[in-house]
Amino acid sequence: MENPVMNTTLTYREALKQGIREALQNDKDVFLMGEDVGRYGGAFAVSKGLLQEFGEERIMDVPLSESGFVGAGIGAALAGMKPIVEVMTVNFSLLAMDQIVNNAATLQHMSGGQLHVPLVIRMGCGISKQLGAQHSHSWEPFYAHIPGLVVLSAGTHEDARGMLRLALLSPDPVVLFEYTGMLNLEKEVAVDSDILDISKAKVLKKGKDITIITYGIGVYKCLDAAAELATVGIDAEVIDLRVLRPLDEFTFLASVAKTHRAIIVEDAWRSVSVSSEVSARIMEKTFYDLDAPVLRLCGIEVPIPYPAHLEEAAVPQIQDIVNAVKKMIHHD
Amino acid sequence: MIEFLMPSLGADMEDGTLIEWKKRTGDSVKRGDIIAEVETQKGLIEIEVFDEGIIEKLLIEEGTKVPVGTVLALIDPIEVSLETKKEKPIELHPIQEKTTEGITQEAEREIHIKASPLAKKMAEDHHIALFQIKGSGFDGAITKEDVEHVIAQRDVIDKEKTVIETEKTVASSEAIRAAIAAAMSKSNREIPHYYLEKKIDLTKALTWLQEANEQRKVQSRLLPVVLFIKAIAKTLLDFPDLNAIWDNGLKPKKDINIGFVVALHNGGIMVPAIHQADLKTVDEIMQTLNDIIPRARAMKLRSSELSDGTITLTSMGDGGADAVFGVIYPPQVAIIGFGSISEQPFAENGMLGVRSVVNATLAGDHRATDGLTGSQFLNLLARNLQKPESL
Amino acid sequence: MLQSDIKTVQINEKKGLLLLYQMLLIRRFEEKAAEQYSKAKIRGFLHLYIGEEAVAVGVIQALNDDDNVLATYREHGHALARGIDADVIMAEMYGKLEGCSRGRGGSMHLFDISKNFFGGNAIVCGHLPIAVGMALASKKQKKTNITCCFFGEGAAAEGEFHEALNLAALWKVPVLFVCENNLYAMGTALKYSHAMTDIEKKGTTYGIESAAVDGMDLRAVIEAANKAVKKVRSEEKPYLLVCNTYRFRAHSMFDAELYREKTEVDEWKKRDPIPQYQQFLLQKGWISESEIELMEQKIEHKIQMAVDFAEAGTWEPLEQLTKFIYSEK
């Protein structure tokens, strides 16, 4: 902000597109394949114009064969290419779960280290706007469960733009979650800021009273909540996990050791969630630093309903976060 | 029915004499109330109750000595209604089994107190029982802030409490005799002593003392023993193995707390500790002696003063024996003795002269150290006493 | 069904003997594997290739060294035919560090990247999309190698089969699909799992040139495979070759074979590919009975060496348990 010349305003969609374009420009072995990524311009217009810019060889429309084209991506990666496979949304990715779990995540191990699968699978995730139960899932925890996968969550514009390039450098399969609900969201981003690391969580706001741990669509909500909490004198630290596997526990454990309180916020269902894991690690490793029980603020365990008011109530909102934190600190 | 037991206040406490009941049958008691006074080897101690209820029966008469764990009184817990009590007398047995030891009783009670892990740990570190803390967290759980609050309060209370304790702690001469007997028998039974003696020229020290005292008011003048104490403390810095206790092995102590033997007028001794003598100036040591000697003789010592010693000094003073070979006060591992100061012919640089001389001795625990250590200690002690100005 | 025409078979004496050696090696290796399994030296699932040797040997001889091969969990034969040493295969089945997958894979997951041998894939049909992707990469990178993917007729009922064939045809990638139709998906006969039992017709539906061949006849397989590989390589498009064959042994070691009659097995054994092919070589005068006997002895020795190698192998240290989850940087 001190130097406005260096900043630019971007939508999340534009940030994603910049990331893809940059990846295609940097490496001729990189290509994008997915449903409607070419002629249609991407189901969410993320890849609009890229077909014209890079041609059919690099921007491949694929039929509705999630298992088929994700498997083909794995094969291409085994054979030396760097495919970016777009699965339109996480909801459809279950059709490719066999390929992702049984093949991508497993081949290195069962070949005794001979095979590597440098593949990036991007998928839209989370609630958008009243898309109902089969188009609104937050299934990061499914993938975060699988050893062998690197699971990233782009909760900020900076990561939407920068994570893909680094993900393509990974010798191992990466599942990259993007958030369709944020596509039109505008944020100011540094023009040439470049993220350097996709192995660590990030402290987005420092604070001393409580640690708010989140990822994905929760990130901006938690930052807004922290801003509101500051007005009542609560200094919250906000951590974006960014990497859901392998989890960077060091960052949040260090924070909790400092603040003595933790709340974890995510849209995914509470049971067996990312927050379950984070919470458990806090208990296991910083138990004696805790001054209050760890709290999880997660999605209500219901398929996401269609009506707007129910949809909104099904996942944590800014005010829910504010209230939960206030309750933890003031006990009211 | 809750059984109120003779508490174990220390690992080495085996029994106690119930001196006075502070509550009577039919009185209601709550957690933290003082229920009785018990005489122990360490003096008179007020004992508190950890239950709430009405005293059903006092089982032990005042003046009776009983082993730790003896049921002293029965308390009818307040929560139990009369009906329940009549219907289910058998269910009380498990409680009896559980409460055979006071410590266990307390520990179990704390399980039911909600406290954050951090608060629990802090309370433990500061030796604060959780029941003493009021919780302000979720469901009344004790939080970090609550513990910090209690710590701050305690620092104030501690100061007041010491004064009260000073007034109250009185031990009978029989108890003292018994305590000495027990400690010295234990020492003789368990500690293989070795003895060393060193003649020390005190001429310089006494000259310095005389000059120093000329500038002091009468009431703050220094006694030779102050120099002994200070010199021992300074010398111990180089001999950590002598400033130690023996507890299944040698455990050197950080603080140098010199137990100083005070003879009582009616027989018996008290050994109050001069805390951190190495950090005190000679004037501060003198002040301490002026404080504790009269209190020791009045048997008004604090328990910390009686239990914190890490080594003992016994000094004969004027007109006493020429040398004293002490018996180590367990679990300490050494005792230093100073005989009376006397004028003696003393050879130095081939010349014979008359000097003020004292016989310093060291009795050491042979399990902990050997004669060489003790000998080196006495040599350095002698050298340190030649430089009184730097003590 | 494509009729094999002996006259067009392109094999000379040297290669002819090599192929017999490979088939015999597979047969004896599998017999030894069964023995070692019974002794509990080999555990897990063990699927034997006995009876189907002509398919792997006949197809793989048509491939170049830089072509990719993907197989199923019944892949010992393919691995041997591809030239992976019996030693490291046996050691792999023992679970030893010296195995071709460092013991991490076992019988169902043989890998050897130096032979471009990509498993050992045990999710039925899971490797077909991968094969398409590998062929896609060859095309994109303008390489001349092709990808050969073996699977059973059971896989043809999976959705991934149809996705993979469609993608391969759509993208026109150089992949040879080889369906080993041994008539049983575990214990379910072809007629109970497919409405249309001519698997090759499923290929043509996607616009893929397809053929079926007698998989018990090595020379027929050779001819069909040579033709198929030539098409795939030269025309850069997929091909489906269905080899009708039969496994003489049970599906895996723990199988009571309730689903088929002994007489059916006996009928198929009369068509055993090995005696058939030996007969051909004897008639040609390329080999004598005593030379076959000599070959058998050589193979027996080689397999004993493989067992010794596996026995002498080492167990991977426990500290390495979590290796090969993520690449070491």
Residues whose CB falls within 8 Å of the CB of residue B307, separated by 6 or more in sequence, listed in order: B42, B273
* Chain B residues lying within 8 Å of A293, measured CB to CB: 116, 138
Per-residue confidence (pLDDT) for residue A331, from 0 to 100 = 56
Per-residue confidence (pLDDT) for residue B238, from 0 to 100 = 92
Contact C111 A114 (CB under 8 A): yes
* Exposure b/e, B228-245, CB count within 10 A at least 16 = b: bbbbbbbbbeebebbbbb
* B159 reaches A (C-beta below 8 A): no
Interface with A, mutate which of B120, B144, B146, B147 (most A CBs under 10 A): B144
For B332, which DSSP code?
B
Q: Looking at the complex, report in whole angstroms how far the Cα of residue A182 sits from the nearest Cα belonging to chain C.
A: 31
The CA distances from residue B44 to A123, A304, C75, C168, in Å, are 76, 71, 87, 95
Identify the CA nearest to C237 among candidates C201, C198, C206: C206
Per-residue confidence (pLDDT) for residue C251, from 0 to 100 = 85
- Given the residues A14, A35, A66, A311, select the one marked as catalytic: A66
Task: Indicate the average pLDDT of chain B.
Answer: 81
Per-residue confidence (pLDDT) for residue A1, from 0 to 100 = 47
Helix locations, chain B, DSSP H: 82-87, 92-98, 102-111, 117-125, 144-168, 173-190, 203-214, 224-236, 282-297, 303-307, 371-385
Q: Do strands B15-21 and B64-67 pair parallel, antiparallel, or not at all (unpaired)? A: antiparallel
Task: Among A29-43, B122-136, C70-84, C164-178, name the one with the lowest average pLDDT.
Answer: B122-136
Per-residue confidence (pLDDT) for residue B90, from 0 to 100 = 39
Contact A111 C119 (CB under 8 A): yes
Domain span holding position C26: 6-310
A135 is a catalytic site residue? yes
Q: What are phi and psi of B65, to 5 degrees?
A: -95, 130
* Exposure b/e, B265-291, CB count within 10 A at least 16 = b: eeebebbbbbbbbbebebeebbebbee
The number of distinct structural domains making up chain A is 2
Place B183 in a pLDDT band, splitting at 50, 70 and 90.
confident
Interface with B, mutate which of A208, A259, A291, A326 (most B CBs under 10 A): A291
Span C83-110, mean pLDDT? 97
Q: What are phi and psi of B70, to 5 degrees?
A: -70, 140
The span from the CA of B297 to the CA of B125, in Å, is 35
* Chain A residues lying within 8 Å of B141, measured CB to CB: 292
* B118 reaches A (C-beta below 8 A): yes
The span from the CA of A45 to the CA of B205, in Å, is 96
Per-residue confidence (pLDDT) for residue B85, from 0 to 100 = 40
Task: Indicate the average pLDDT of chain A.
Answer: 94
**Ranges B61-65, B347-351, C140-144, most confident:** C140-144
Span A245-273, mean pLDDT? 97
Between residues B293 and C8, which one has the greater pLDDT?
B293
* pLDDT one-digit tens code per residue, B98-116: 333 444 444 444 457 888 9
Which chains share 3+ C-beta pairs under 8 angstroms with B? A
Domain span holding position A102: 7-190
The span from the CA of A141 to the CA of A299, in Å, is 12
Task: Among B5-19, C24-38, C172-186, name the one with the lowest average pLDDT.
Answer: B5-19
Tell me which of A134, A161, A190 is where a domain ends.
Answer: A190
A110 and A221 co-located in one domain: no
Count of other CB atoms within 10 angstroms of residue A271: 9
The span from the CA of B285 to the CA of C160, in Å, is 91
Task: Among A188-192, B49-53, B72-76, C130-134, name the one with the lowest average pLDDT.
Answer: B49-53
Q: In what order do the strands lie in the sheet containing A150-153?
A: A59-61, A30-34, A82-89, A120-125, A174-179, A150-153, A243-245
Is the confidence at residue B89, as pLDDT, over 70? no
Per-residue confidence (pLDDT) for residue B158, from 0 to 100 = 62
In a domain, C13, yes or no: yes
Task: Among A55-69, B162-176, B266-280, name the one with the lowest average pLDDT.
Answer: B162-176
Is the confidence at residue B92, as pLDDT, over 80? no
* Chain B residues lying within 8 Å of A291, measured CB to CB: 116-119, 137, 143-144
* B266 reaches A (C-beta below 8 A): no
Interface with C, mutate which of A56, A109, A145 (most C CBs under 10 A): A109
State the CATH number of the domain containing residue C154. Answer: 3.40.50.970
CATH of B184-390, one of 3.40.50.300, 1.10.150.120, 3.30.559.10, 2.40.40.20: 3.30.559.10
Per-residue confidence (pLDDT) for residue B318, from 0 to 100 = 75
In a domain, C231, yes or no: yes
Structure tokens at C193: 């799992």
* C6 reaches A (C-beta below 8 A): no
A104 and A61 co-located in one domain: yes
Contact B117 A293 (CB under 8 A): no
State the CATH number of the domain containing residue A296. Answer: 3.40.50.920
Contact A111 C111 (CB under 8 A): yes
* Chain B residues lying within 8 Å of A290, measured CB to CB: 116-118
Structure tokens at A217: 């669509």
The CA distances from residue A27 to A31, A159, A193, A197, C271, in Å, are 9, 20, 20, 19, 54
If contacts are CB pairs under 8 Å, which of residues 40-99 in chain A contact chain C?
57, 62-63, 65, 67-81, 83, 98-99
* A vs B: CB pairs below 8 A: 31
In a domain, A2, yes or no: no
In a domain, C169, yes or no: yes
Identify the CA nearest to C78 among candidates C190, C295, C243: C243
Count of other CB atoms within 10 angstroms of residue C9: 15
Place B161 in a pLDDT band, splitting at 50, 70 and 90.
low
- Give this complex's ipTM: 0.91
Contact B137 A331 (CB under 8 A): yes
**Residue in A with minimal Cα distance to C109:** A110
Is the confidence at residue A2, as pLDDT, over 60? no
Per-residue confidence (pLDDT) for residue A22, from 0 to 100 = 93
Task: Among A66-80, A218-232, B310-324, C309-323, name the one with the lowest average pLDDT.
Answer: B310-324
A207 and A185 co-located in one domain: no
Is the confidence at residue B81, as pLDDT, over 50? no
Tell me which of A190, A215, A241 is where a domain ends.
Answer: A190
Place B383 in a pLDDT band, splitting at 50, 70 and 90.
very high
Residues whose CB falls within 8 Å of the CB of residue A192, separated by 6 or more in sequence, listed in order: A6
The span from the CA of A289 to the CA of A163, in Å, is 33
A259 and A292 co-located in one domain: yes
The CA distances from residue C132 to A76, A108, B79, C127, in Å, are 8, 19, 76, 9
If contacts are CB pairs under 8 Å, which of residues 23-82 in chain C contact chain A?
68
The span from the CA of A159 to the CA of A68, in Å, is 28
Is pTM, for the whole model, over 0.80? no
Per-residue confidence (pLDDT) for residue B178, from 0 to 100 = 77
Per-residue confidence (pLDDT) for residue B140, from 0 to 100 = 84
A206 and A291 co-located in one domain: yes
For A103, which DSSP code?
I
Residues whose CB falls within 8 Å of the CB of residue B315, separated by 6 or more in sequence, listed in order: B225, B228, B260, B261, B324, B337, B338
**Ranges A44-48, B79-83, B306-310, most confident:** A44-48
Span A278-285, mean pLDDT? 96
**Residue in C with minimal Cα distance to A70:** C129
The span from the CA of A215 to the CA of A194, in Å, is 19
A39 and A112 co-located in one domain: yes
Span C177-181, mean pLDDT? 98
Cα C253 vs. chain centroid, distance in angstroms?
A: 18
Per-residue confidence (pLDDT) for residue C6, from 0 to 100 = 42
Contact A103 C123 (CB under 8 A): yes
**Residue in B with minimal Cα distance to A327:** B138
Is the confidence at residue A141, as pLDDT, over 80? yes
Task: Among A179-188, B18-27, B34-43, C285-294, name the one with the lowest average pLDDT.
Answer: B34-43
Span B132-160, mean pLDDT? 82
B358: number of CA atoms within 13 Å, CB side? Answer: 29
In a domain, A31, yes or no: yes
* Chain C residues lying within 8 Å of A108, measured CB to CB: 324-327
* pLDDT one-digit tens code per residue, A286-309: 999 999 999 999 999 999 999 999
Identify the CA nearest to A155 among candidates A87, A219, A95, A109: A219
Within this chain, domains B1-111 and B184-390 share the same CATH topology: no
Structure tokens at A161: 């733009």
* A148 reaches C (C-beta below 8 A): yes
Nearest to A331 among B119, B121, B138 (CB): B138
10 Å CB burial of residue C8 (0-12, 13-18, 19+) is exposed
* pLDDT one-digit tens code per residue, B123-140: 888 888 888 888 888 778
The span from the CA of C297 to the CA of C300, in Å, is 5
Task: Indicate the average pLDDT of chain C.
Answer: 94
Long-range CB contacts (< 8 A, 24+ apart) of B269-274?
B269/B176, B269/B180, B270/B176, B270/B296, B270/B297, B270/B299, B270/B301, B270/B306, B271/B306, B271/B309, B271/B312, B271/B329, B272/B296, B272/B301, B272/B305, B272/B306, B273/B304, B273/B305, B273/B306, B273/B307, B273/B308, B273/B309, B273/B310, B274/B229
Structure tokens at C45: 């699932």
Task: Among A20-34, B96-110, C228-242, C291-305, name the one with the lowest average pLDDT.
Answer: B96-110
Residues whose CB falls within 8 Å of the CB of residue C317, separated by 6 or more in sequence, listed in order: none
The CA distances from residue A49 to A61, A127, B278, B313, in Å, are 13, 26, 83, 94
* Chain C residues lying within 8 Å of A109, measured CB to CB: 104, 324-325
In a domain, A1, yes or no: no
A78 and A206 co-located in one domain: no
* Chain A residues lying within 8 Å of C118, measured CB to CB: 78, 115
Interface with A, mutate which of C92, C130, C147, C171 (most A CBs under 10 A): C130
Please list the residues that pair with A84 across neighbouring strands.
A32, A120
Per-residue confidence (pLDDT) for residue A332, from 0 to 100 = 56
A109 and A234 co-located in one domain: no
Contact A76 C323 (CB under 8 A): no
State which amino acid sits at residue A252. Answer: F
Q: Do strands C239-244 and C209-214 pair parallel, antiparallel, or not at all (unpaired)? A: parallel
Please list the residues that pair with C148 across neighbouring strands.
C69, C176
Per-residue confidence (pLDDT) for residue B157, from 0 to 100 = 65
In a domain, C292, yes or no: yes
State the CATH number of the domain containing residue A22. Answer: 3.40.50.970
- Given the residues A53, A57, A109, A135, select the one marked as catalytic: A135
**Ranges B57-66, B307-316, C290-299, most confident:** C290-299
Interface with A, mutate which of C162, C171, C172, C325 (most A CBs under 10 A): C325
The span from the CA of A130 to the CA of A51, in Å, is 30
> Which SS3 state, helix, strand or coil, does residue A102 take?
helix
Contact A103 C135 (CB under 8 A): no
CATH of B1-111, one of 2.30.30.280, 3.40.50.300, 2.40.50.100, 3.30.450.20: 2.40.50.100
The span from the CA of B12 to the CA of B331, in Å, is 11
For C323, which DSSP code?
T
**Residue in A with minimal Cα distance to B123:** A288
* Chain C residues lying within 8 Å of A74, measured CB to CB: 129-130, 133
The number of distinct structural domains making up chain C is 1
In a domain, C321, yes or no: no
**What are the boundaries of each domain within chain B?**
1-111, 113-170, 184-390
Q: Do strands A82-89 and A120-125 pair parallel, antiparallel, or not at all (unpaired)? A: parallel
The span from the CA of C167 to the CA of C139, in Å, is 13
Contact C325 A114 (CB under 8 A): no
Tell me which of A123, A158, A190 is where a domain ends.
Answer: A190
Q: Do strands B53-58 and B28-29 pair parallel, antiparallel, or not at all (unpaired)? A: antiparallel
Contact A331 B136 (CB under 8 A): yes
A312 is a catalytic site residue? no
* Exposure b/e, C136-160, CB count within 10 A at least 16 = b: bbbbbeeeebbbbbbbbbbbbbbeb
How many DSSP H helices and E strands does chain B contain? 11, 19
In a domain, C261, yes or no: yes
Nearest to A288 among B118, B136, B141 (CB): B118
Structure tokens at C328: 């070491």
A184 and A212 co-located in one domain: no
Is the confidence at residue A105, as pLDDT, over 80? yes
Task: Among A291-305, B50-64, C2-16, name the one with the lowest average pLDDT.
Answer: C2-16
Per-residue confidence (pLDDT) for residue A53, from 0 to 100 = 96
Residues whose CB falls within 8 Å of the CB of residue B153, separated by 6 or more in sequence, listed in order: none
Contact C160 A98 (CB under 8 A): yes
Structure tokens at B138: 């979720």
Q: pLDDT above 90 covers what percent of chain C?
A: 88
Contact A95, A130 (CB under 8 A): no
Q: Looking at the complex, report in whole angstroms how far the Cα of residue A151 sits from the nearest Cα belonging to chain C.
A: 12
* Chain C residues lying within 8 Å of A32, measured CB to CB: none
Helix locations, A168-235, DSSP H: 218-230
Establish whether chain C is in contact with chain A, requiring a minimum of 3 CB pairs below 8 angstroms. yes
Per-residue confidence (pLDDT) for residue B79, from 0 to 100 = 56
CATH class of the B113-170 domain in this structure: few secondary structures
Contact A112 C119 (CB under 8 A): no
The span from the CA of A266 to the CA of A296, in Å, is 8
